[in-house]
Amino acid sequence: MTVVQQLIDDGRLTDPGSAKGRLLAAAAQLFKHKGYERTTVRDLASEIGIQSGSLFHHYPSKEAILKAVMEETIVRNTALMQAGLSQAESPRDKVLALIRCELQSILGETGEAMSVLVYEWRSLKPDSQQHILALRDIYEQLWLDTLAEARAAGMVQTDPFILRRFLTGALSWTTNWYKADGEISIEQLALDALTLAVK
Amino acid sequence: MTVVQQLIDDGRLTDPGSAKGRLLAAAAQLFKHKGYERTTVRDLASEIGIQSGSLFHHYPSKEAILKAVMEETIVRNTALMQAGLSQAESPRDKVLALIRCELQSILGETGEAMSVLVYEWRSLKPDSQQHILALRDIYEQLWLDTLAEARAAGMVQTDPFILRRFLTGALSWTTNWYKADGEISIEQLALDALTLAVK
Amino acid sequence: MTVVQQLIDDGRLTDPGSAKGRLLAAAAQLFKHKGYERTTVRDLASEIGIQSGSLFHHYPSKEAILKAVMEETIVRNTALMQAGLSQAESPRDKVLALIRCELQSILGETGEAMSVLVYEWRSLKPDSQQHILALRDIYEQLWLDTLAEARAAGMVQTDPFILRRFLTGALSWTTNWYKADGEISIEQLALDALTLAVK
Amino acid sequence: MTVVQQLIDDGRLTDPGSAKGRLLAAAAQLFKHKGYERTTVRDLASEIGIQSGSLFHHYPSKEAILKAVMEETIVRNTALMQAGLSQAESPRDKVLALIRCELQSILGETGEAMSVLVYEWRSLKPDSQQHILALRDIYEQLWLDTLAEARAAGMVQTDPFILRRFLTGALSWTTNWYKADGEISIEQLALDALTLAVK
DNA sequence: AATGAATGAGCATTCATTCAT
DNA sequence: CATGAATGAATGCTCATTCAT
Q: Is B197 helix (H, G, I), strand (E, B) or coil?
A: helix
Question: What is the structure's pLDDT at C1?
Answer: 61
CA distance A123 to chain B (A): 9
CB-proximal positions of chain F, under 7 Å: 1-19
CATH classification at residue B9: 1.10.357.10
* Nearest C-alpha neighbor of A14 from the set A63, A59, A62, A60: A59
For D54 and E4, how far is CA from C1' in angstroms?
10
CA of B45: nucleotide with nearest C1': F2
A101: nearest Cα among A116, A82, A117, A118: A82
DSSP string for residues in C17-74:
TSHHHHHHHHHHHHHHHH-TTT--HHHHHHHTTS-HHHHHHH-SSHHHHHHHHHHHHH
CA closest to A36 among chain B residues: B37
The helix (H) or strand (E) run that includes residue C96 is: helix C91-107
* pLDDT exceeds cutoff 80 at B146: yes
Contact A68, A148 (CB under 8 A): no
Q: Which residue is nearest to nucleotide F15 (CA to C1')?
A: D40
Question: Residue D34: which of D123, D136, D125 has the closest Cα?
Answer: D123
* Residue among D38, D173, D196 minimizing CB distance to C37: D38
User: Residue A197 in contact with residue A175, Cβ under 8 Å?
Assistant: no
Distances (CA, A) of D180 to A131, C19, C159: 46, 46, 18
pLDDT digits (tens, 9 = 90+) for A165-191: 999 999 999 999 999 888 999 999 999
Q: By 3-state DSSP, what share of chain D in percent is helix, strand and coil, each rounded to 5? A: 75, 0, 25
Chain C residues within 8 A of D168 when measuring between CB atoms: 173
**D142 backbone φψ class: left, alpha, beta (φ>0; ψ -120 to 50):** alpha
Q: Is strand E less than 7 A from the beta carbon of B63?
A: yes
Q: Which amino acid is at D131?
A: H
Please give the Cα distance from B76 to B2 (Å, whole number).
11
SS3 assignment, position B124 = coil
* Residue in chain A lying closest to B33 (CA): A122
Q: What is the pLDDT of residue B182?
A: 86
Cβ atoms C84, C97 nearer than 8 A: yes
Please report, in angstroms and rounded to a whole number, the separation of the first and last CA atoms in chain C: 32
Contact by Cβ (8 Å): C27, C69: yes
Tell me the three state secondary structure of residue C110.
coil
Q: What percent of chain D lies above the pLDDT cut of 90?
A: 88
Q: A42 Cβ partners below 8 Å, 6+ apart?
A: A52
CB C44, CB C59: distance < 8 Å: no
Average pLDDT taken over every residue of chain B: 94
Q: pLDDT tens across D168-199, in order?
A: 999 999 999 999 898 999 999 999 999 999 97
Closest nucleotide to D45's CA, by C1' atom? E2
- Rounded CA-CA distance D149/D160 in Å is 10
Under 8 Å between Cβ of D147 and D163: yes
What pLDDT score was predicted for residue C11? Answer: 87
pLDDT band at B1 (very low <50, low <70, confident <90, very high): low
Distance of CA B187 to the CA centre of its chain: 17
Instruction: Find the CB nearest A166 among B35, B119, B170.
Output: B170
Report the neighbours of C using a cutoff of 3 or more CB pairs below 8 angstroms. Answer: D
3-state helix, strand, coil in chain B (%, to 5): 75, 0, 25
CA dist., res. C168 & res. A156, Å (int): 83
Q: Is the CB of C46 under 7 A from strand E?
A: no
How many CB atoms are located within 10 Å of the residue D129 CB?
A: 16
Range of the domain at C131: 2-197
Contact B166 A193 (CB under 8 A): yes
pLDDT band at A11 (very low <50, low <70, confident <90, very high): confident
CB contact under 8 A, A122 and B197: no
**Radius of gyration over alpha carbons of chain C, in Å?**
18
Q: How far is D192 from chain C (nearest CA, A)?
A: 7
- Whether A68 shows a pLDDT value over 90: the answer reads yes
Chain E nucleotides covered by protein, CB below 7 Å: 1-19
Residue C2: what pLDDT?
85
| Residue numbers in B near A162 (CB within 8 A) | 184, 189, 192
Rounded to an integer, what distance in angstroms lies between the CA atom of residue D199 and that of residue D192? 11
Please, what is the Cα angle at B125 between B122 and B131, to 5 degrees?
Answer: 100
Inform me whether the pLDDT recorded for B36 exceeds 70.
yes
Q: Assess whether D46 (CB) lies less than 7 A from strand E.
A: no
In which element (H, E) is residue A185 found?
none
Q: What is the mean pLDDT of chain A?
A: 94
Nearest to residue C162, comparing CAs of D93, D187, D170? D170
Q: What's the pLDDT at D1?
A: 59
**B166 burial via Cβ count (<10 Å: 0-12, 13-18, 19+):** buried
> Cβ distance A193 to A170 under 8 Å?
yes
Chain D residues in contact with C197 (beta carbon < 8 A): 196
C119 vs D34: CA distance, rounded Å:
13
- CB contact under 8 Å between C168 and D173, yes or no, is yes
Residues of A with CB under 8 A from a CB of B: 33-35, 37-38, 119, 122-123, 157-159, 162-163, 165-174, 177, 184, 189, 192-193, 195-197, 199
C127 CB-near residues (< 8 Å, 6+ apart): none
Instruction: Flag whether D touches C (3+ CB pairs, 8 A cutoff).
Output: yes
Displacement of CA B10 from its chain's centroid (Å): 20
* Strand E closer than 7 A to residue B53 Cβ: yes
C122 contacts on D by Cβ (under 8 Å): 34-35, 38
Mean of the pLDDT values across residues D106-130? 91
CA distance C193 to C103: 10
Instruction: Name the residue among D119, D166, D177 with its Cβ closest to that of C170.
Output: D166
Cα separation of B27 and B116, whole Å? 9
| Cβ D37 vs Cβ C37: under 8 Å | yes
Give residue-wise pLDDT tens across range A17-52. 888 999 999 999 999 999 999 999 999 999 999 999
Which residues are within 7 Å of strand F by their Cβ atom?
Answer: A 39-42, 52-53, 56, 60-63; B 19, 50-54, 57-58; C 19, 50-54, 57-58; D 38-42, 52-53, 55-56, 60-63
Q: Given phi > 0 = left and psi -120 to 50 = alpha, else beta, which region is D42?
A: alpha
* Nearest chain C CA: its distance from D11 CA (Å): 33
Element (H, E) at C192: helix C186-197
pLDDT tens digit string along A120-144?
A: 999 999 999 999 999 999 999 999 9
Q: How does pLDDT run across D35-45, given as a tens digit for each residue? A: 999 999 999 99
Using the structure, give the distance in angstroms from the CA atom of B60 to the C1' atom of E17, rounded to a whole number.
Answer: 9
d(CA A171, CA A162): 14
Is residue A113 within 8 A of residue A69, CB to CB? The reply is yes
Q: What phi and psi, each to the nearest 5 degrees, are found at residue B39?
A: -90, 125
Asked if residue B136 has pLDDT above 70, the reply is yes
D127 pLDDT above the threshold of 80: yes
Instruction: Report how many domains make up chain B.
Output: 1
Q: Name the stretches of chain C with pLDDT < 70.
A: 1
Q: How many residues does chain A have?
A: 199
Kindly tell me whether chain B and chain D come into contact, counting contact as 3+ Cβ pairs under 8 Å: no
Nearest residue to B194 (alpha-carbon basis) of B107, B78, B93, B106? B93
Using the C1' atom of nucleotide E10, identify the protein residue whose alpha carbon is closest: C40
Contact criterion met (CB below 8 Å) for A192 and B162: yes
Q: Which of B196, B198, B199 to mutate to test the interface with A (most CBs of A within 10 A)?
A: B196
Tell me what the mean pLDDT of segment B177-193 comes to: 94
Q: Which residue of chain B is at minimal alpha-carbon distance from A115?
A: B119
Q: What value does the mean pLDDT take over residues B72-88? A: 95
Residue D109 confidence (pLDDT): 84
Quote the minimal CA–CA distance from A127 to chain B in Å: 17
Residue D63 CB contacts under 8 Å (≥ 6 apart), including other chains? D123, D124, D125, D128
The pLDDT tens digits of the residues spanning B100-119 come to 999 999 998 888 999 899 88
DSSP H or E segment with residue B140 = helix B126-152
Q: Which residue type sits at C158?
A: T
Q: What is the mean pLDDT of the segment spanning B123-139? A: 95
